[in-house]
Structure 1
């Protein structure tokens, strides 16, 4: 997936930026086709698998950045001619992986334009096969898999497939946001009662929402969002659960003990929710065997979320 927002931010901060993409894989590889990283003079972000492959690829990308800028390709959106290299991981790098990868490295000075959510680029006239891919994206909404098509690199634009709302900016909320924020495909919204509740450094891409009364905000969240409720107040936790049950959700997790959940379950039923509906809320969340340290809780919660990415366990009530 092509993260245009991340590229734009990197260009804004560092000027010309190299982007390295795994465009093809043969046999065993540390990452899949479409994995990418951004490289600039003094740093990088993202990963194509680490180790010797990433080290050498980043070094070559910096050599491209250090060279004289080449003319932008026609209709390239500020993109210079790419370098395409097949790397046999064992013979070339001494890695245990028995496969090979094709690395596509290009330098950007502006963000390329997407066509129907797809970025396609290559040298020369656009091949008919690529035109067909773009036509399917425009006419039928078909998002192609990333990879090489007739010598051109085709990538769908990265889109958030999951909307996750974290309610509470205490120790566990901060740990959760730090674990969730780097994951692809997640749009993360973080809510608490005041701006000073949040840390000074919030991960890129996280939407921070100070709300004097978060429960009112819960009445307007997307009905297919995923929620993690862990505020400083049991009363607020209860009200959020009540409102989210009315609103509908994809999933909802509540921090707390079995005793807390027993009380909440009774109170939510008293507020008019059926036992089946209340049962859609997970409490406790995470993996108790990992311990109660905030980072340990966060690891357990996120692992739980990643194991069931397609589960829609909420309900919409009239």
Structure 2
């Protein structure tokens, strides 16, 4: 989990005074992990620290909080009647426009009580700066350390029709995605673009392919089979982490033949995924979007597991 500075800035801009409640420490079983956070203001909130009695109580306390920073520990079973048998320590911090952290920093670190910075915290921050080691969110000797959230995966959605709109709505809340949404004109997009999504009108979308990162993910679902083919052709020449095409088995068979005629090997073409999502969920745009989201999340989990295994082998 990471400190979402952008979400905090947006909430403060909208509500002036916002309390951020973050899970600072966990002992035993708990609804959420360290670093899970919610934002609370008069009349509303966003995010979650696990729901149920803990979240309700924490939100009520946050709305009445009159100190800049407060640390509290909650026994989930005895105190709150929740099934989890552990305890959770929460850090609640009040923010206004004058209190927002520097958006350029990579780690947000602050004391939860008076005292100088412990050596363990200094070492952790030095490792983060000098060795590129991204620290885990943690409460360390009375100091809260959280990496700043940076989207780690670039995703391009090609097409702003019904399925493209459903995909943008479903995928935008996922924290690790940096989404670029492309179609041939501004009129193709809805009036309201989901937060965290960059809409990009371009009369010839295939010309934007070279601007995508070589490991980016792509979802191709434009209004035109010809444009879909041009994008597939461009991506096969450019490189990608994942590329999915919406379509039937018949469409995919035709595309494979045409891409082969354009000089791509069968091994290269097989890297494209068609159809995308989970066909058993049906053809409703939201059903397709849910299936695609599940597919991308599964890919991300597999990549994370492979990264961890590689770290273990190299240790």
Q: Mark yes or no: TM-score above 0.5.
A: yes
**In structure 1, what is the equivalent of residue 285 of structure 2?**
294
2:110 aligned residue (121, 135, 152)? 121
Offset from partner CA, 1:156-180 (integer Å, 9 cap, x none): 0001111111111111111111111
**Correspondence list, 1:230-309, <5 A:** 230-309=221-300
**In structure 2, what is the equivalent of residue 107 of structure 1?**
94
Q: Is the 2:244–2:274 contact (alpha carbons within 8 Å) kept by the matching residues of 1?
A: yes
In 2, the alpha carbon distance for the partners of 1:2 and 1:102 equals 17
Q: Is the 1:53–1:93 contact (alpha carbons within 8 Å) kept by the matching residues of 2?
A: yes
Specify every segment of 5 or more residues in structure 2 that has no aligned partner in the other structure, as ranges: 305-315
| Number of aligned positions between the proteins | 298
In 2, the alpha carbon distance for the partners of 1:40 and 1:298 equals 31
Normalized per residue, which structure has more helix? 2
CA shift for structure 1 position 299: 0.8
In 2, the alpha carbon distance for the partners of 1:311 and 1:157 equals 21
Which is worse superposed, 228-237 or 110-119?
110-119
Q: Is the 1:20–1:103 contact (alpha carbons within 8 Å) kept by the matching residues of 2?
A: yes
Runs of 4+ in 1 over 2 A off after TM superposition: 113-116
Give the SS at the match of 1:113: coil
Q: Using structure 2 for the length normalisation, give the TM-score.
A: 0.91
Matched, 1:85 2:53: no
**In structure 2, what is the equivalent of residue 148 of structure 1?**
139
In 2, the alpha carbon distance for the partners of 1:258 and 1:236 equals 18
1:160 aligned residue (128, 151, 159)? 151
In 2, the alpha carbon distance for the partners of 1:54 and 1:311 equals 31
Offset from partner CA, 1:76-131 (integer Å, 9 cap, x none): xxxx2x11111111111111111111111010123113785111001322222111
Which is worse superposed, 88-97 or 262-271?
88-97
Offset from partner CA, 1:294-317 (integer Å, 9 cap, x none): 1111111110111111559xxxxx
Which is worse superposed, 218-227 or 274-283?
218-227
1:201 aligned residue (189, 192, 196)? 192
CA shift for structure 1 position 243: 0.4
Two-structure CA RMSD over aligned residues (Å): 1.5
Offset from partner CA, 1:39-87 (integer Å, 9 cap, x none): 11121111111121111111111001xx3xx5xxxxxxxxx2x111111
In 1, the alpha carbon distance for the partners of 2:17 and 2:160 equals 36
In 1, the alpha carbon distance for the partners of 2:303 and 2:102 equals 34
CA shift for structure 1 position 219: 2.5
In 2, the alpha carbon distance for the partners of 1:144 and 1:311 equals 19
Offset from partner CA, 1:197-251 (integer Å, 9 cap, x none): 1111211111111111101111221111000000111111000000011110000
Specify every segment of 5 or more residues in structure 1 that has no aligned partner in the other structure, as ranges: 71-79, 313-318
